[in-house]
Amino acid sequence: MVEDSENVLKAKTHEEIVVNNWRQSLQPLLPVDIGQVAKVKNYEPMPFFNVGNQKIASGFGGLTDWIIQQGTVLIDGYGGVFFKEIQLQVQRELDERGISVKWHDTSAYFKSETELETLIAPFTGGATEVWGKRTTLELKDFFRYEDILKIKKEETKTVNIIIGAGAGLVQWDAPVIYFEIPKSEIQYRMKAGAITNLGGSITDDPFYMYKRFYFIDWVVLNQHRSALLNRISVVADGQWLNEVNWILKTDLEKGLTKLSHAVLRARPWFESGSWGGQWMKSHLEGLNKDEINYAWSFELITPENGVVLESDGKLLEITFDLLMELESKAILGKHAAQFGTYFPIRFDFLDTFQGGNLSIQCHPSKTYIRENFGETITQDETYYIMDCEPDAKVYLGFQDDINPEEFRAELESSQLNNEKIEIEKYVQSFPSRKHELFLIPGGTVHSSGTNNMVLEISATPYIFTFKMYDWLALGLNGKPRPINIEHAFNNLRFERKGAKVREELISNQQVIERGADWELVKLPTHQDHFYEIERIEFDTDVVISTEDKCHILMLVEGTAISAEVNDGDGYRFNYAETFIVPAATGSYKLINHGKLRAKVIKVFLKDNLEG
């Protein structure tokens, strides 16, 4: 039985709160098994990869039996996991079996909130600042570490369990059960007020909570999980409330080795926004049509994506981060030495169909993002036009006669007085055309206008957008979004103006290879971009070598294709679905299943990258 009845009462109270309000989103929760996955024809928002038979177990009953066999276990996991609910479920199973247990909850060993606020202050950037700086702290710094090391087993109990984030800090000779949770679900729980930041007792404003997650909590939790890998025996999916699927670490490793030599698709997720559009709702069948709009698709923003595994119909999602911790060399190939476990490319959608303009914005230089925010690479982007209306445009680069002081004065006046700016007096615009590529290295002023469907191909950093002018629009919360003129002017490249913009920032596409029924089109990127972009256009099939590089691909025109690897293993992908061919695959064949020519974007890292 649980020793502390007061804590049990608190847990039950918390459970009641969570049951009633534990997740704020119109996006569906991943089902526990594939029988609950809706069948779709043209876009799959819940892709999964089979890891073999009898690999994923289901239910707290089986997990509790495994715990009893061990006698002593550490239940660790990510921030945002409902550890109290897990404890209650395991306790019920132990009670049914008449098994005595001693629980130790790591949350009792956090430093005081006053101490924690002082500890993290150098990394939060202040209450009103949009960004913090990537922390140099470790998870153990959040605890009274000497006290947590003194936790002792109670030998009179059949089972001893330490539970909570950081349980693995205790150096018991005991297996670790690690609970994963998708970053999207963390944010849905955050918006519902159902979770706190590390060491917190109450929820905070979602703006601040996310900033702290990104710059502090997720950093130390990722480092902790990486250090814990060799001690983890079970990985469990913590995104459900009273259900669990879990896998033995040995089976997970075998499955991910198979995956990293095949073809993979991360599970995407979607968000509405002030400028969001209607294209995704009308073209991507599997999405919830009740959402007000869709501004973003996290197609492949790996710090916030998961990978779904399947066995005997049971589903289990792990973070993309964990996949990289175990299989980065197979996935990145020759570039693993430089990027380690960090996946350096992202794909996401920006939908402004029947929506609004994105803000006039820029992104930081590599030096600026390192010195101010602690990132290692910067947010060098491109806009690939998937679709557009005839009136759509992209704002890019300055007018030839740009006066920086005048431009800044007008921006500041607009922010102060809520005044409209004739933005094309300062910033150029270009008509959007399907399959055109706009180049947006750091420091380039830019925006997508309304009625565009943009595939944003970029280096992975994704939150460092310095907004200068937001068209007097309000966010979905009814408040203006933050404007960051000072940061922007510390980075703007005013020499990117006039005719030079068309010459250097709109990709001049060229056919570089041709076969009987296929062409390879090169879409040159900017010298600041560390990635190449090509488009494969073919009628039947084409064979491609990875050359020990990771390829990120998307069907941007056509109905469906298959990617075949390993002498016949085939994976089908529909229009607008992002997928990855790891470097270790060696070669693969793309097969067109449509009646018309297929067009596939392929992105890979350049050779001889600078550090």
pLDDT at 18 > cutoff 70? no
199-225 pLDDT, tens digit each? 999 888 999 999 999 999 999 999 999
Residue 488 sits in the same domain as residue 596: no
326-345 pLDDT, tens digit each? 999 999 999 999 999 999 99
Lowest mean pLDDT among 12-16, 18-22, 503-507, 572-576: 12-16
Residue 394 sits in the same domain as residue 452: yes
Residue 577 sits in the same domain as residue 465: no
Q: How many domains does the chain have?
A: 3
pLDDT at 423 > cutoff 70? yes
Q: At what angle do helices 83-97 and 60-70 cross, to 10 degrees?
A: 70
Q: Which two tokens stand for residue 394?
A: 């992209």
Distance between the two ends of the chain, CA-based, in angstroms? 55
Q: What does the pLDDT read at residue 563?
A: 98
Q: What does the pLDDT read at residue 101?
A: 98
SS3 call for 368: helix
Mean pLDDT rounded to a whole number for the chain = 95
Whole-prediction pTM value? 0.94
pLDDT at 7 > cutoff 50? no
pLDDT at 15 > cutoff 60? no
Per-residue pLDDT, averaged over 469-489, amounts to: 95
Q: What does the pLDDT read at residue 282?
A: 95
Residue 473 sits in the same domain as residue 528: no
Residue-range definition of the domain harbouring residue 535: 510-605
Q: What does the pLDDT read at residue 2?
A: 33
Per-residue pLDDT, averaged over 555-579, amounts to: 93
Q: Is residue 196 part of a domain?
A: yes
384-403 pLDDT, tens digit each? 999 999 999 999 999 999 99
Residue 534 sits in the same domain as residue 599: yes
Residue 425 sits in the same domain as residue 515: no
Q: What does the pLDDT read at residue 8?
A: 32
Q: Which amino acid is at 536?
A: I
Residue 374 sits in the same domain as residue 411: yes
Residue 578 sits in the same domain as residue 436: no
Residue 500 pLDDT level (bands cut at 50, 70, 90): very high
Task: Select from 217, 240, 259 the last residue of a domain.
Answer: 259
CA–CA separation, 272 vs 269, rounded Å? 11
Task: Select from 505, 521, 542 the last residue of a domain.
Answer: 505
Q: Is residue 341 part of a domain?
A: no
219-243 pLDDT, tens digit each? 999 999 999 999 999 999 999 999 9
Asked if residue 162 lies in contact with residue 106, where contact means CB atoms within 8 angstroms, the answer is: yes
Q: Which helix H or strand E contains 563, and what residues bound it?
A: strand 560-565
pLDDT at 6 > cutoff 50? no
Cα–Cα distance list, 465 to 35, 129, 272, 451 (Å)? 40, 13, 17, 21
Instruction: Outline where DSSP puts E strands in 370-514.
Output: 381-388, 393-398, 427-431, 437-440, 446-448, 452-459, 466-469, 510-514
Q: Is residue 547 part of a domain?
A: yes
DSSP string, 388-429: E-TT-EEEEEE-TT--HHHHHHHHHHHHHHT----GGGTEEE
pLDDT at 357 > cutoff 80? yes
Q: Look up the CATH number of the domain holding residue 589.
A: 2.60.120.10
Lowest mean pLDDT among 31-35, 68-72, 311-315, 407-411: 31-35
DSSP secondary structure letter of residue 11: H
Q: What does the pLDDT read at residue 273?
A: 95
DSSP secondary structure letter of residue 35: G
What percent of the chain shows pLDDT beyond 70?
96
Length of the chain: 611
Residue 116 sits in the same domain as residue 174: yes
Q: Which two tokens stand for residue 303?
A: 């710090």
CA–CA separation, 142 vs 119, rounded Å? 8
Q: In the block, which residue shows the tokens 């132990």?
A: 94
Collect all residues with Cβ–Cβ distance below 8 Å to 194 and sequence separation of at least 6.
17, 18, 21, 22, 23, 82, 203
Surface-to-core class of residue 59, CB atoms within 10 Å of its CB (0-12 exposed, 13-18 middle, 19+ buried): middle
Closest by CA to 573, choosing from 41, 28, 35, is 41
Per-residue pLDDT, averaged over 486-505, amounts to: 98
